[in-house]
């Protein structure tokens, strides 16, 4: 699936998320998404909250997987471990860069690095495992 197909898939199956996540690029075993940060994504202290970063990691890896296996909406997260490494820049979008490290018949394993737009170092790293539904 390409960028347009992934954005259409998101709109069809998760219409409430279409304005929250923008698919920027897709390539072999990779996808990059943008999450426009707004006031509702912030916590005390003016930083992006953890649930927002988790959502970006989850959706980025899910769409990287869909790009590789096709539109199988029932693929589900079976594990996620996230490390919050530094504070995102105030008022900047988040960029999630997903990479599938192993794509098997039943499980997919990979990482998502989350960046604050304009910063060179990642603000978070998530290790992801997804279960792929049987044919």
89-102 confidence digits (pLDDT tens):
778 999 999 999 99
The secondary structure of 101-127, three-state, reads: EEECCCEEEEEEEEEECCCCCCCEEEE
**Contacts for 47 with CB less than 8 Å, ≥ 6 apart:** 87, 88, 90
Rg (CA), the chain: 14
Tell me the pTM.
Answer: 0.93
3-131: CATH homologous superfamily? Hotdog Thioesterase (3.10.129.10)
Whether residue 118 is predicted with pLDDT greater than 80 in this model: the reply is: yes
Element at 21 (helix H, strand E): none
Q: Which two tokens stand for residue 40?
A: 């509702």
Q: Which pLDDT band, with edges at 50, 70 and 90, does 17 fall under? A: confident
């Amino acid at each position: 699936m390409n960028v347009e197909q992934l954005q259409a898939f998101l709109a069809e199956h998760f219409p409430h998320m279409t304005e929250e996540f923008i698919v920027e690029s897709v390539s072999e075993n990779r996808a990059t998404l943008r999450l426009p940060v707004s006031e509702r994504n912030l916590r005390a202290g003016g930083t992006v909250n953890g649930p927002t970063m988790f959502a970006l990691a989850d959706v980025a890896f899910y769409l990287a997987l869909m790009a590789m296996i096709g539109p199988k909406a029932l693929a589900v997260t079976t594990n996620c471990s996230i490390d919050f490494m530094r504070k995102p820049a105030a008022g900047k979008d988040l960029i999630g860069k997903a990479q599938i490290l192993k794509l098997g018949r039943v499980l997919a394993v990979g990482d998502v690095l989350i960046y604050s737009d304009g910063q060179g170092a990642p603000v978070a790293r998530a290790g992801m495992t997804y279960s792929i539904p049987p044919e």
